Amino acid sequence: MSTEKEIKGFSGWAMVLAMVGSAVLAVWSLVSGLRDGSPAAGISAIIVIALDLFAMSGFTVINPNEARLVTLFGVYKGTLRQPGFWWVNPLTTRRLLSLRIRNFESGKLKVNDRDANPIEIAAVVVWRLVDTFEAAFNVDDYEHFMHVQTEAALRNLATSYPYDTHDDQMVCLRLSAGVVADRLRMEIQERLTKAGIEVIEARISHLAYAPEIAGAMLRRQQAAAVIGARQKIVEGAVGMVEMALAELSRKGVVHLDEERKAAMVSNLMVVLCSDKGAEPVINAGSLY
């Protein structure tokens, strides 16, 4: 399969000088022929002027980060990439292609994540053309092709990961932004290589549960957050109780039997784990 071939045109300014010179000579020859009564000189002058006018269609301007794909009667001749004022064969067709960096934001897609939860997801892709031949001849419309393939890659990505996870080691769409972005960029690049497009960056721009389950999933997240917080509180409380009993025993402040230890542990756990302020109760009598 062919790839891009860079070519250089003839200097446009040099061609302008050549055309002006030939036009001056043609006019002088025409005037001389009319004065001398020579029809051949007039005809040759008219032909030269007509050729100059036809050659003017060969002028082309290349701006920075632009390229012109040149074809002659359906045959690819090359691509003009160097900025400047150039002249090429007037019979060629020259298609202008932009090499500038561009971005595309997909629409919000409604798909199911790996856990079959309906979510809404969208992405922003930063891209540019790197091979004009593939962009022009391998696909019908490279921009439309890029849009469709980006959405296909985004759908595939969304079904590969869960929206959220309670395992810190597992990759999910909500928390693993860097890993997900790299995977998305690679997915899109694999699909767009045949179109001569380089994907510079791809990131998720919108991520949310679908409206019909958003309320239920919010309550689920809140419950999971409460459970996680309670687990941390209990772990800390147990550690503090162990430390308190160990310090009391080491310093000999009080000697506690198993029943008194159980009562103290119960009271400390209530104080440490309660979500409200504890109200002290003074026991003036014996435990027994």
Convert the pLDDT of each residue in 182-223 to its tens digit: 999 999 999 999 999 999 999 999 998 887 766 666 676 666
CA atoms within 13 Å, Cβ hemisphere of 127: 28
- 283: pLDDT confidence band, cut at 50, 70 and 90? low
Model's pTM, two decimal places?
0.69
For 99, the enclosing helix (H) or strand (E) is: none
Determine the 3-state secondary structure of 81 from DSSP.
coil
pLDDT in tens, 123-157: 999 999 999 999 999 999 999 999 999 999 999 99
| CA pair distance 218, 238, nearest whole angstrom | 30
Tokens 């419309």 sit at which residue? 141
CA atoms within 13 Å, Cβ hemisphere of 136: 25
Tokens 């079959």 sit at which residue? 116
Mean of pLDDT over the chain? 83
What average pLDDT does range 43-51 have in this prediction? 81
Angle, CA of 197, 203 and 177, to the nearest 5°: 140
Q: Is residue 9 within 8 Å of 86, Cβ to Cβ?
A: yes
